[in-house]
Amino acid sequence: MGASLPDCPQTSNLLFDPSMNSARVQLFHGANQPFQMGTVLLPDELHPGEVLVEISLATICGSDLHTTEGRRSAPTPCVLGHEAVGHVVSSARDGIASGQRVTWTLADSCGQCAPCTRWHLPQKCEHLFKYGHAALTDGSGLNGCYASHIVLRPGTQIMTVPEALPDAIAAPANCALATIVNALETLPDPCGRALVQGGGLLGIYACAWLRHRGVREVFCTDLSPQRLTLVAEFGGIPLAHGTTPPTVDLVLEVTGSSAVIPDGIKALRPGGHYVWAGMVHPETKIDLTGEAVLRKCLTLRGVHNYAPHHLAAGLDFLAENHTRLPFEKLTSPPLRLEQLNEGFELTRSRQWQRVAIQP
């Protein structure tokens, strides 16, 4: 699928060398500026509940691309990146031991506020901390995944990665896949036919997950013929741009564009569900009448991020299906951490759904 990449290392599971006292990091200094390599001291000791992880493989999420282009704000300098798999170096948490291969939720939550306890929305915690979105001066400074190490905080849910699951397939699970599991947790009854708007990684995961959930026909629209070809390999039925979809029970928006909303409303049956999971940018203003929703008795749902059980379900899904579905086609061969700037250029080329970075 993608172009060959020179000097790309193979994925390795080597553990941390205890003689090292610094982590290597790629520092983000602001929009439209190149990343710069730096070092951050490893903590002498961990606070209760913290876990030090050596990153085996990270993947570049589209949200980080938006940050580097100035479409999202971030404190500077900082270490971006939130999709990764790694090995535990040291742990100050019961149940987590050195050597375990793990991934983790992209945010840390307190577990005590109303969103965490009563509303079942830990991703909206009143004290939320998001990896890849924190200043270098916050805590240890090892707050993002474009680095050799990361310090996971006490309120972060850490999960072991199934042994047979390759790093490149597991790494994007803690963002894109877990979000899709959340978005499609509640389906209308009946739900025999669905439309996915967008054939990027979210859309590909959605097609595979809906088929896994028993939806008979999953249509997918996208402007890119190449993306639609890949969609078909994950159970989706490609619809060329401009093709009118059949009437469906469920529509999922993962394009990030509000321009698709009228088509989604039109495609839904009376009583259908419309889930929005891609329009997380302020420029996505919606031109929609209440009548269009009310007369068809539609249910609208907005989804942002996920709760820990969604990530757990996503990992189980990958473990069960990674030999049946070609997930390996979604991620590039790994680039070195020092090649992160080239990795972002490769991400912009859209040759791959995810570009892999190996420290």
Q: What is the pTM of this model?
A: 0.92
CATH 3.90.180.10 fits 22-166+322-358, yes or no: yes
**CA–CA distances in Å: residue 214 to residues 181, 187, 209, 219, 339:** 14, 11, 9, 14, 41
The H or E element spanning position 126 is: none
Are the CB atoms for 61 and 55 separated by under 8 Å? no
Mean pLDDT by 10 residues, the chain (359 residues): 37 42 97 96 96 98 94 93 98 97 98 98 98 95 98 98 97 98 97 98 98 98 91 96 92 96 97 97 89 97 98 98 97 98 97 97
Q: Could you tell me which of 237, 304, 317 has the C-alpha nearest to residue 277?
A: 304
Give the pLDDT confidence score for residue 10 in this predicted structure: 33
Q: Which two tokens stand for residue 321?
A: 């299906």
Give the pLDDT confidence score for residue 20 in this predicted structure: 66
**The one-letter amino acid at 277:** A
Range(s) of the chain covered by CATH 3.40.50.720: 182-302
Range(s) of the chain covered by CATH 3.90.180.10: 22-166+322-358
Q: In sequence order, which residues have a C-beta less than 8 Å from that of residue 294 and are 6 or more positions away?
A: none
Give the pLDDT confidence score for residue 72 in this predicted structure: 87
Give the pLDDT confidence score for residue 222 in this predicted structure: 94
Give the pLDDT confidence score for residue 120 in this predicted structure: 96
Give the pLDDT confidence score for residue 9 in this predicted structure: 37
CATH number of 182-302: 3.40.50.720
One DSSP character per residue, 20-44 reads --EEEEEEB-STT---EEEEEEPPS
Crossing angle (nearest 10°) for helices 308-321 and 176-183: 110
